[in-house]
Amino acid sequence: MSDIERDLEEELHRVLDPISAMPIPPRRRAGSRTAARTVLGGAGAALTIKLLTGVAVAAAAVTVAGAATTGSINPAVWGQQVSQHVADCKAKLADGQHGIGDCVSDFANQHGQAVASDARHHGAGTGTTNGHGNNPNANDHAKNKNRGRSTQGKGASSQQDPTDPPIHATVTASPQP
């Protein structure tokens, strides 16, 4: 017998013999801890981790969407504000001037920046995206303001309802001469 074998046997007995002298616990019956094992062990643990991760991701998504949708943008309020502001802009043009695009765009641009800032403040990390996705009017206004100025499309936009995205998109894609 080699040294390693002798050491091995001595060490095994030194460690395991005291354990062998300990009392024998009652035998566990099948199914007595099935539920705990399902949750905590083996494939059950993997499934549990996946479920918890899914719930966490879903909760985060709901939080972000909620912050962007209900916390920053209220369509009803926004519509009323736009209507009011369009009326104000028209009133300012009563002396014979034409086109309220700049006037409305300024308002929409301010609103868009406020929404984006609010979404970032709520921890979305995609505030710009939320601003674009959930408030197309505001962002389209901001874009169209710049584009309209560069392409002289102000006249066309002044004839459109600033709250109607498809019309703005059309104006942006092919500005009127």
Partner 1 sequence: MASIEEPPIEAKPPPESYEPGSEADFERLYRNSYRRILGTLITLVRDRATAEDCAQETYERAFRHWKEWRPEASAEAWLHRIAINVAISDRRHQSLRQAGELVRRLGRPAPGPDPSAVAERSDLFRAIRKLPAKQAAALVLRHYHGYSNREIAAALGVPEQTVASRLAAARQHLQAVLGRR
8 A C-beta contact, residue 144 and residue 121:
no
Smallest distance from partner 1 to CB 58, Å: 21
Kindly give, in sequence order, each residue whose CB lies less than 8 Å from that of residue 109, ignoring residues fewer than 6 positions away.
138, 141, 142, 145
Smallest distance from partner 1 to CB 61, Å: 25
Instruction: Using the minimum distance from each CB to partner 1, give the nearer residue, 39 or 61.
Output: 39
- Name the burial class of residue 21, with classes exposed (0-12), middle (13-18) and buried (19+) by CB atoms within 10 angstroms of its CB: exposed
d(CA 135, CA 131): 5
d(CA 118, CA 126): 11
Residue 161 gets the label, from left (phi > 0), alpha (psi -120 to 50) or beta, of beta
What's the chain's length in residues?
177
Instruction: Using the minimum distance from each CB to partner 1, give the nearer residue, 32 or 84.
Output: 32
**Secondary structure element (H or E) that encloses residue 163, with its range:** none
Instruction: Using the minimum distance from each CB to partner 1, give the nearer residue, 25 or 96.
Output: 25
Instruction: Using the minimum distance from each CB to partner 1, give the nearer residue, 45 or 60.
Output: 45
Instruction: Using the minimum distance from each CB to partner 1, give the nearer residue, 46 or 58.
Output: 46
Binding site residues, partner 1, CB under 8 A = 1-9, 11-20, 22, 24-25, 27-30, 36, 39-42, 45-46, 49
Smallest distance from partner 1 to CB 60, Å: 22
Smallest distance from partner 1 to CB 55, Å: 16
Smallest distance from partner 1 to CB 54, Å: 17
